[in-house]
Amino acid sequence: MIPSMRSLTAEEYVEAFKSFLEHSTEHQCMDEFNKEQMPNIVAGIIRLCLSMSHRAEHASLLLGIPWQERWQDLKMIRILQAVHPGVFIDNEIVEPNPQHVAAYKELVNQAPDLQNVSFIWHQLTSLEYEQQVKEKGTHKKFDFIHMIQMLYRVEDIPNTIKFFHSCLDHHGKLLIIILSDSSGWASLWKKHRDCLPATDSGHYITCSGITEVLQRLGVEHRVYEFPSGWDITECFVEGDAVGGRMMDFLTGTKDFLGTAPAALRRRLQEALCQPECSSTRDGRVIFSNNLSMIVVEC
C-alpha cells in the first residue's frame, strides 16, 4: 500500500533545503547583491539616521528572517561595519523555532568580530511579534529591517508588510528578498499549479505580488533582479536520493516521488522541463531560481 501524501515537517524541510542549497546558486546570488548594492543602501541609512536622530554612531536593526538564512544576517552586519567602522548595532531577531534560535546563537558565539553588536532574540512568529509590540505599546523604530525568503509562510502578507514598514525610523529601509517573476517557480505556480499537491501550506507568491502590496500602500520602492540557478538533473533519475529530496523541496511534500500518483509525478517532471522553468547546460537541467531584492523606503 502506497503511503498517503503529507507536508514536510520542520526537520524534513531542513534536510530538503540543505539539498537545495548544495545544488543552487541562491547564496551566491545574495552575495552578489550584498557586494553590488548593500554598501550603498546601508551607507545612506546610517548617514541619514545619524543626522536625523542624533544617535552618535548607533544603528538599530530588526532582522525578521527564516532560520536558514541566518548567515546572511552576519554578512549584512559585516557590510555595515565595513562601511561605518565603530558603529554600534542593535540587532533583533524574530524566529519561532527554538532549535533555530539556539543554532543562530552558536553561530554568533563563534564570530569574534561582532564585539560592537548586541543581539535580542524573539522566539516568536512575525505575527506574534507584531501582537506583542501592539499589546505592550512599545513601537520601537529601526533603521533597517530585512525579510529574506520568509513571506511565503506569513498568514497576512499585506498587513505584515504594513506593520514592519511602520517600524522603520525616518529614512529607514526595508529589504524584502523574494522569488522573481522570471523564475521557474513563478511559471510553475502560474501554469502548472494543478500539478502541485495541496499539502504545502505556503503562499505561491513572487515579486509582483509584493510590489502590488507596496503600490497599494503608496510606499516608494526599488527592485533589483539577480539571476540564480538550481541544478535539478537528479529529479529525473529514477531512485536517486538527492533527486527525491529535491522533489520534496519543490512540492513541500514528504517522499513526493514515492507517494504521489504516477500521473502527477509525470506531469510535474514534464512541467519542470519546460523552457519557462528550466534550461539545459552541458546536459544538466538548471531550474531558474532568480531572485528579486526589493528595497522599500520609509
Span 46-55, pLDDT tens digits: 654 444 433 3
Q: Kind of pairing, strands 291-297 and 221-226?
A: antiparallel
22 pLDDT band (50/70/90 cuts)? very high
- Per-residue pLDDT reduced to its tens digit, 267-290: 999 999 999 999 999 999 999 999
> 292 and 227 in contact (C-beta within 8 Å)?
no
Instruction: Quote the percentage of the chain above a pLDDT of 70.
Output: 88
CA–CA distance from 193 to each of 33, 103, 251, 259, 272 (Å)?
30, 35, 10, 18, 12
Average pLDDT over residues 233-238: 94
Structure confidence at residue 51 (pLDDT): 41
Average pLDDT over residues 57-80: 66
Question: Helix 10-23 vs helix 241-251: angle between axes, to the nearest 10 degrees?
Answer: 110
57 pLDDT band (50/70/90 cuts)? very low
69 pLDDT band (50/70/90 cuts)? low
- Per-residue pLDDT reduced to its tens digit, 159-183: 999 999 999 988 889 999 999 999 9
* pTM value > 0.85: yes
Structure confidence at residue 275 (pLDDT): 95
- Per-residue pLDDT reduced to its tens digit, 103-149: 888 888 888 888 788 888 888 888 999 999 999 887 788 889 999 88
Domain 6-297: CATH class, spelled out = alpha beta
> 161 and 134 in contact (C-beta within 8 Å)?
no
Helices (H) and strands (E) in the chain, counts: 12, 10
Structure confidence at residue 199 (pLDDT): 59
